[in-house]
Structure formats: C-alpha cells, structure tokens
Amino acid sequence: MKKGKILEEKEGGICPICQLFIPSQLKHHISIEHSDEELAQAVIKAKSRGMTDEEIGRTFGITFRKLEKIITEALGANFTPSISPRKIKRWSPEDFRKETTTVWSFKKRGDWATHNPHYRGNWSPYIPRNIILKYSQPGEVVLDYFVGGGTTAIEAKLLGRRCIARDINPVCVQITNDNLSFSPPQSLFSYPLYEPEVSVGDARKLSDIMDESIDLICAHPPYAGIINYSSSIEGDLSNLSFDDFLGEMQKVARESFRVLKRGGKCALLLGDARKRGHIVPLGFEVINIFLEAGFRLKELVIKRQHNCKTTGFWYEKSIKYNFLLLAHEYLPVFEKPVSPSLKEEPLPYHPPLLLTPFLKREIKDLESTSVWLFPRDKIQESIEENVSQRYGSRGKLLFFQIHSLPNGLIDFIREHLSQLTKGSYLLIQTRDLRFEGYIIPLAKHIYDILKKEQKLWLKEIIIVAPEDFPAPPPREDLEIIHQYLLLYEAR
C-alpha cells in the first residue's frame, strides 16, 4: 500500500496526521487520538497543498462548516494560504469584452496579475473590471468597503483609478496588501497608476471619508452567515442572522449615499439563501434597503455560475426533495440622483394572464438549478414543460404572466388563492422593465406585495434567459434578456 493512501473507514488506512496505519475506524481514530490543534494543522496543510474541500471532508471526517471554522480560527480569515508566491503571467485578461446584456457568466474565473481563488467566496475580477470601466474614468475614486482578498483594489490599480479599500478584518487588509505588491510596466498603460489606500475600516462608519467624494462604490458584501469570514471580530456582518444583517446594511446604505457624488454609481454583488427548503430573498431585501436610502436602480444584472448543470448526487436530491440549487446572484447598480427623483408616469398596462401549462413531452433531464437557459425560440415552451413536469404533477398549480404593476394586483391574485390547497403552487412569470433610463424591478415589486400573504411561502426564484443570445454592441444601458419565475408554495 502506498504511503498516504486513505482507504474506506471499514478497511482503515494511513492517518493523515500521524502517518501511522490504522487497520479500522480511521475517522474515529482521527477525532479521538489527535487534538484540535493537530487536526487544524493537518487540515491547513492539506488545503494549502491543493486538496479540495470534498477530499478534506472524506479524509478527516469533517463537515464543510467544520472546515470553515478551522480555517477562520487558525488563520484569522476564510482563505487558503498559498504554498509559493504567484508568478504573474499577464497584466490583463485575454480576449476581454465589455458585458452588454443583463446576464453575466464567465467561463474562466480570471487569473491575470495577482488574482487568485484563495480567498473563499471572492468574486470574479471580470465583475469589478466591467463595473469600473463602465462607470468611472481614470483618476477617479473607487471605494470597496468589503475588500476581502483585494480583487476590486487590484482592478482599480490596473485601470488607473484611485482606490480606497477597507475591511473590518485586519487579516484581509494584509492579504490585500500582499496581492497589491506588484509594479506593472508603466509602458503598458496610457494612464498613470495609483497605489490603493488600504486600511481596517467598517462599511457602516465611514466618518473619515468626506461627503460626496467618491465616484464609484464597487463591493461584494457577505451574505448573512452563508460564509463566515472571521470567527470573533465584532461587527463582521458575515456572522449575523438574516434580520440583523439587514439592519446593519441599512447603515451601510446610508453611508454609501452620503459619500457618493451625485450621479455616482454603487454596484453590489448579492446572493439569496435557502432555509427549510425555501428561498431567503436576501438580494431583493438589500435592494429595497438601498432604494429606501435614496438611490435609484440603474441596472439589475444577473450573475450566473458557469457550467452549473447538476448531475448524479445533487440532481437526484434536487428531484427527490423538490428544490433547485442556487446558481444566481444579483448585481444591482444603484445611482445617487443628480436631482430629485422624476415623477414616474404610468407604464403601459398589461393584464395578468392565467396560463395552463401542459406537458408536451417527457423531459429526461429536468432543470435542477435556479438558472434556466433555453434556445431563444423555445423559451416559453421549455418553461411550461419544466414547470408542468416538476410542479404540475404535485397538485394544483396556478401560473400567471405579469408584465406590469396594475392597481389591484394583490386583489386579483387573492381571488385565485382560494383554489390553492396546502402544498400546491402559485407561479408568477415576470421581467424587469426600463423606464427613463432606470430599472423597474417587477419581480422584486411582486415579492414585496406578496410577502405579507400568510398563505404563501416563497419556494424558488428562478432566472430564465436565452442560451444563444448574440451580444449587442456596447451602449449606455444593458440589454435586458432575463426574466423571473417566482414560485410560491401554499401553506
């Protein structure tokens, strides 16, 4: 037997900590015979050598949450230490093009300059690059108050923007400074480069930043306990409950509005969560908070995971327990108005349409994530087939298309709620609209209207988009190509 090979627990194997052969009950041996400190050291060592989370879980008999706890307590932040310094191969992405639609997906995460995936949950550098190029000019000031591993700061430096980078975790500040320790040849750039100002700071308290002094805010907030970025730092929003997180984000929104120049943009990447088999709509709730602070919604982008089609274990679980794996995030781009908000004129009225989906063909591979991509000419047919097979066979299904917000919408829906018995579904198909240069987020508005209905429980938020949409040429506004399916379960 090769040294280090881990056998099934019933057979035994080489203990990854003490390197002794244990004939049986290997995981029991690891947990009993070794201290927490020894386990933590072995896990960190395995992680730094490139072992995946799944492999670590099998080898050491620990859960993902336990792995996360070990890393944050041992290192002070949720990141993977690198064995050796990263060698810079290029200073910009290959074949880069600006995004021109409202659905963003990046086949490659991005590894130019010092970008790396070692900080858990950090965003693809393609996101801040697109935002910075679209909404700021060289020499202007970009603020990221959740800088984490430094992705935004790296892009701001490469793109000739001045950057203020903050994080409540001192370890993140050190990681960011390490990732910024590069000096690209000035000859590659047609603009001067600036070193970002990196320091420990709280996004809720930006008192050292003057009113209306920031041109662009570009940040990736934590998602209310989905990933813990520290273990004991007071004020770390990643350790809060859903309600507490939203309360603190109100402070972030107010400070963001104060420091941003009029006409300036604030872009945030937000995600939803799941609890008890149902959606926790964190994205819509944070959007509401920023709108209430005075912002207007300039764009609402959907960021999807690439190659997120599930197979095997997770596909079977998705079908058996009737849930979708979350594969979408929201990238709202807010604007601080130059002048008081314009009076919104009534939008064209489109009456709600009650649909009766039926199964035209049996689908072998049902959609199992929260992002559904279909050929442009078969979108509606594919939606109805998936909906009919997945939800229509489980009881009563009410399916509406709603493409405006008429007065009395809630009364219209309530007229039909009596048809729903416990465990049956209400499905609403809708899309975002653009009015005088701003987004009217119909899906969010419908969610706001229905969230007080005690009979309804939000089960899924599904994003539907064409898989073959040709990229339009760049313009001021993005082409809206996505729509939503809001699925409610009757209590």
Rounded CA-CA distance 369/348 in Å is 33
User: Cβ atoms within 10 A of the Cβ of 292, count?
Assistant: 11
Pairing of strands 260-268, 328-335: antiparallel
- Report the alpha-carbon distance of residue 119 to residue 122 in Å, rounded: 6
* Residue 3, pLDDT score: 36
Which residues of the chain does CATH 3.40.50.150 include? 103-335
Query: What is the residue whose two structure tokens read 């859960």?
Result: 63
Residue 77 confidence (pLDDT)? 77
Chunked in runs of 10, what are the mean pLDDT values of the chain (491 residues)?
42 68 67 74 80 79 78 76 74 94 92 87 93 98 96 98 96 93 94 97 96 98 68 76 92 98 97 88 97 97 75 67 89 93 65 80 85 95 92 81 80 82 92 93 94 92 94 93 96 88
Which residues, in sequence order, are bridge partners of residue 260? 214
What local confidence, expressed as pLDDT, does residue 241 receive?
85
Q: What is the DSSP letter of 76?
A: S
Q: Are 295 and 262 in contact (CB under 8 A)?
A: no
Count of alpha carbons within 13 angstroms of residue 420, beta-carbon side:
23
> What pLDDT is stored for residue 132 in this prediction?
98
pLDDT in the model for residue 66: 80
Q: Distance of CA 364 to CAs 9, 317, 368, 385, 390, Å? A: 36, 15, 12, 11, 11
CB 341, CB 262: distance < 8 Å? no
The alpha helices in 180-229, defined as continuous H runs, are none
Q: Where are the alpha helices (DSSP H) in 309-441?
A: 312-320, 379-390, 409-417
Can you say whether the dihedral through the CA atoms of 90, 95, 96, 102 is positive or negative? negative
For residues 47 and 36, is the Cβ–Cβ distance under 8 A?
Answer: no
CATH superfamily of the domain spanning 103-335: Vaccinia Virus protein VP39 (3.40.50.150)
Per-residue confidence (pLDDT) for residue 71, from 0 to 100: 78
CA distances from 387 to 32, 374, 468 (A): 49, 14, 21
Q: Give the pLDDT confidence score for residue 332 in this predicted structure.
A: 98
CB-count exposure of residue 365 (10 Å: 0-12, 13-18, 19+): exposed
pLDDT at 366: 85
